[in-house]
């Protein structure tokens, strides 16, 4: 009787294990960020580097020309490229250029002004990154 029960148990285990193997596996789909999302992540990293250089009294180098791609990078939602976005992106570039060309004694002020322009834009659309952006402000 034990051997019959053992054979039955083994048969059930084999059947269910074999059935599980036949199930199709779900395909994993990787998230692909838009050009704008990738650019803004790069801008965040670049601004964090600038912040640290300002705090350490180091030279911040030259204006990163890649930031100018803000005017033509593809957004996650193309409908977000509206008059408000265009105005804020121009303001950001103007403020960032002022960081590089302005007086050394106003470097922190100009940098914070630039970061605040990011926050102002994100308050109108795509509010999620605001807490992260606020970390860039120099206190």
3-state SS, residue 82? coil
pLDDT number for residue 32:
80
Quote the pLDDT of residue 27.
75
**Which pTM does this prediction carry?**
0.76
Question: What does the alpha-carbon distance between residue 53 and residue 61 come to, in Å, rounded to a whole number?
Answer: 10
Choose among 95, 107, 35: nearest CA to 66.
35
What pLDDT shows up at residue 33? 86
Tokens for 49? 């580097």
Residue whose tokens read 């030279």: 59
pLDDT, residue 96, reads: 97
Q: What is the pLDDT of residue 19?
A: 47
CB 66 within 8 A of CB 39: yes
| pLDDT in 10s for each residue of the chain, 139 residues | 666 655 555 665 566 665 444 556 677 777 788 999 999 999 999 999 999 999 999 999 999 999 999 999 999 899 999 999 999 999 999 999 999 999 999 999 999 999 999 999 999 988 999 999 999 999 9
Where along the chain do its domains lie?
35-134
Distance CA(63)–CA(54), nearest Å, equals: 14
């Amino acid at each position: 009787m034990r051997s019959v029960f053992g054979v039955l148990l083994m048969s059930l285990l084999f059947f269910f294990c074999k059935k599980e193997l036949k199930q199709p596996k779900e395909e994993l789909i990787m998230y692909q960020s838009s050009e704008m999302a990738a650019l803004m992540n790069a801008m965040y990293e670049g601004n964090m580097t600038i912040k640290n250089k300002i705090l350490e009294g180091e030279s911040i180098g030259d204006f990163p020309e890649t930031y100018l791609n803000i005017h033509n990078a593809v957004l996650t939602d193309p409908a977000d490229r509206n008059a408000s976005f265009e105005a804020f992106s121009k303001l950001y570039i103007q403020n960032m250029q002022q960081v590089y060309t302005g007086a050394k004694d106003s470097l922190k002020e100009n940098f914070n002004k630039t970061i605040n322009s990011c926050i102002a834009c994100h308050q109108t659309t795509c509010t999620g990154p605001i807490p992260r952006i606020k970390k860039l402000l120099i206190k």
